[in-house]
Amino acid sequence: MSTPHAAPTPRDSPLAHLVFFEPCIPGNSGAAIRLAALTGAHLHLVEPLGFDMSEAKLRRAGLDYHDLAHVTVQPDLDAALTAAGTTRVFAFTAATDVTLPEVTFEVGDVLLFGPEPTGLPPHVLEDPRITSRVRIPMRPGLRSLNLANAATVALYDLWRQQGYDGGV
């Protein structure tokens, strides 16, 4: 019989660095906390946040995974990218022709997402540290996926490319 929330097996480095730039909706960040715990990613929340970290919606969405996730609130994007310590940064946006199936990820990559509902602002998309802009395919005429859903799609694609190493 297994325990419902056994401590995850640590890896030498996080699967990926999931960066939410100035997130606004607590439920999305709460879902990302759960996602980080389940995959071994490190979640960076870049200030200003549109909510308080003690907010009930954030706690509810993350359920009881808060203690199993590696989450850091960063004062700005520079701090988040410095903390990630990697040179590969993938900015997720509708403003590109590069689609998710075209990208080959590596363990430790940064997956950068913008705030709801506007996405990443131009000054972030033009940052020279961005390796590539990436779009998640969807039907034409629609604006975007929910932030937590988009992060899940991208992070699980990265993990799939690694053979779900460390997963069960």
Reference 20, options 63, 53, 56; nearest CA is 53
Per the CB < 8 A criterion, the answer to whether 153 and 100 are in contact is yes
Residue 33 assigned to a binding site:
no
CA distance 158 to 104: 8
Task: Note the helical H segments in the chain.
Answer: 26-39, 56-62, 77-84, 122-125, 147-161
**Alpha-carbon distance 57 to 21, whole Å?**
19
Find out whether 132 is annotated in a ligand binding site: no
Q: 114: annotated binding-site residue? A: yes
Q: Which residues are annotated as a binding site for S-adenosyl-L-methionine?
A: 114, 136, 144
Q: Which residues are annotated as a binding site?
A: 114, 136, 144
